[in-house]
Structures are given as C-alpha cells and as structure tokens.
Structure 1
Amino acid sequence: MISLIQILLLVLNVVWFFVIAHVIMSWLISFQVLNLHQQFVAQVWYGLNRLLEPLYTPIRKILPPMGGIDLAPLAVLLAIIAIRIVISNNFGIY
C-alpha cells in the first residue's frame, strides 16, 4: 500500500513540475523571451498544452472569464496541494 501512495505522490510531483513549467513558458512567450517559431520551443509548448489541457478544460468551464487571466493552472496547483495534504494526513507518510 505504501508503494502505491509513493507512486501517487510521484505522479503528483511530476504534474506539479509540468504545470509550473507551463506557466513559466507562457510568461516567457507572452514577454517575447521565447519564440514559438523556434522548433524546440514550439514542440515543448505544444507538448505541455496537450498534456495539461485535459486538466485545465473542466476548470475553465467552471471559472468565469477573467479578462485574459487564466486561473486554471492555479486551481490545478491548489488541487495538487489539497491531494497531498489528504494523503499525508490519512496515511501518515510524507
């Protein structure tokens, strides 16, 4: 059972990293530090979008439009923190 919990925590950590990387890349693209015309940057950007859109889409349906501000990544990060808290409180490992 402990192994399954550790695997779940590992998956949550990987998703956390991907969301943070996606947010940082979106800022860098918005401020034109990164350019989507570069092949590597475009591949990473579209790969992260394809991985994270299934997480963002249901949240975007619930959250009201904020005038260009996307709060879906923040909601995903808060959900990951909440899941970690539930796991650590109920199973006593962390």
Structure 2
Amino acid sequence: MVNAIFWLAGEVIHLMVLAIIAAAVLSMLVAFGVANPRNQFVYTIGDFLNRITEPVLRPIRRFVPYMGNIDISPVIAILLLEALQMVLADLYVRLATSGLAF
C-alpha cells in the first residue's frame, strides 16, 4: 500500500514536470509564430496546459520577478518538483529499511 502511494506521488510529479515543459515549448512556439493560437487544436492544448501548470507556477511568479522578458518560473518549478521527488524517494527508502513499507 505504501509502495503504491509513493509510486503514484512520483508519477504525478513526473507528469507535472512534463506538463510544465510542454507548456513552455508551446509558449515559445506561439511567441515565434510557429503555432497559431487561433487554431482550435492549438488553443485547446494551450488552455489545458495553462490550467494544469498555472496553480504550480503562480506562487513562484509572485516571488520571482521577470528577468527582462524571460519567465524563469518554469525552471524553478521543475527544480522544486525534482527536489520534492528526491525527498519522497528518501522517505520511502527510510520507511522500507525500517520495515514499514509493505
């Protein structure tokens, strides 16, 4: 049971990292004119990614100012999520070695 909870938490963190990367790539494609945001498919994907990633990025954007016109909040969010994943992995190892993870 504990194994499944830690696995699920790790997968959710991994999917959030992938969503942040996809949102950043789509944002750059729209900014450089490669993807047309008026296209229904592009708009739908962009809206979905924005709704998924904004709850994670919004608190970071409040504290980290823009550096020129560059938003570094996705990089900080990915680093924080990876750190959280490492903490969860360490916690799982400690539970497993103490005999509580089954």
TM-score (norm 1): 0.91
2:84 partner letter: I
1:75 matched to which residue of 2?
76
1:44 counterpart = 2:57: no
Which structure has the greater CA radius of gyration?
2
Partner SS state of residue 37, structure 1: coil
Structure 1 unmatched ranges of 5 or more: none
> Percent identical across equivalent pairs?
30
Structure 2 unmatched ranges of 5 or more: 97-102
- Displacement of 1:20 after TM fit? 0.9
Deviates more, 1:82-91 or 1:17-26: 82-91
Moved over 3 A (4+): none
Cα RMSD after superposing both structures: 1.3
With a CA cutoff of 8 Å and minimum separation of 6, indicate the structure with the bigger relative contact order: 2
TM-score (norm 2): 0.84
Count of aligned pairs between the two proteins: 93
